[in-house]
Amino acid sequence: MPRYFAFYKPYGILSQFSDEGQKKGWGSVIDLPPNVYGVGRLDADSEGLLLMTDDKSINERLLHPSNRHWRTYLVQVEGEISAKALDALRRPMSLRFKKKNHQTLPAKVEWLTEEPELPERNPPVRFRKSVPTSWIRLSLQEGKNRQVRKMTAVVGFPTLRLVRESIEDLQIGELQPGEVREYEQQNFLRLLDL
């Protein structure tokens, strides 16, 4: 019987089981059954929801671009974000991935008037009194490598902290960095709209 997990990937941990150079893989943080792998990726500098399963069909059903599942991120950016930048983030933009231009799909973006309640990051984001920061909630239907970081940089507000909050209706919820939660198959597939 396949098994399904949600993992709060901590900052600095790779989305793969094994360590690579100085970076630790998720296998150094949690103990899961053999043949369980991460569905999709979060780069080492990002944190939050990473799905884990031994069900090989999930990868294609969830990640293939034609399936367009929503992924939502909480993003702390440098500076006081403008309405113009928020509007630009909502519209398709041309970004470079693997030396090719890619036109992004429209995104959903909202400016958060209050800092979201998140676990402290270790190490913390560098604080500078003279430079304000803003938080946004950004939802995408695609997941190109470092896409959120590239998008915020293009509009002039570099990403300082990036936390994947949800994929479709499957939320990170009360999980803390390094914690994992197992789901029953039916519930897992329903939350992901699969």
Q: Which active-site residues does the annotation give?
A: 43
Beta bridge partners of 112: 135
Amino acid at 163: V
Among 9, 26, 8, which residue's Cα sits nearest to residue 17? 26
Concatenated DSSP letters for 86-154?
A: HHHHHS--EEEETTEEEEPPP-EEEEESS----PPPSSPPPP-TTS-EEEEEEEES---TTHHHHHHHH
Beta bridge partners of 38: 52
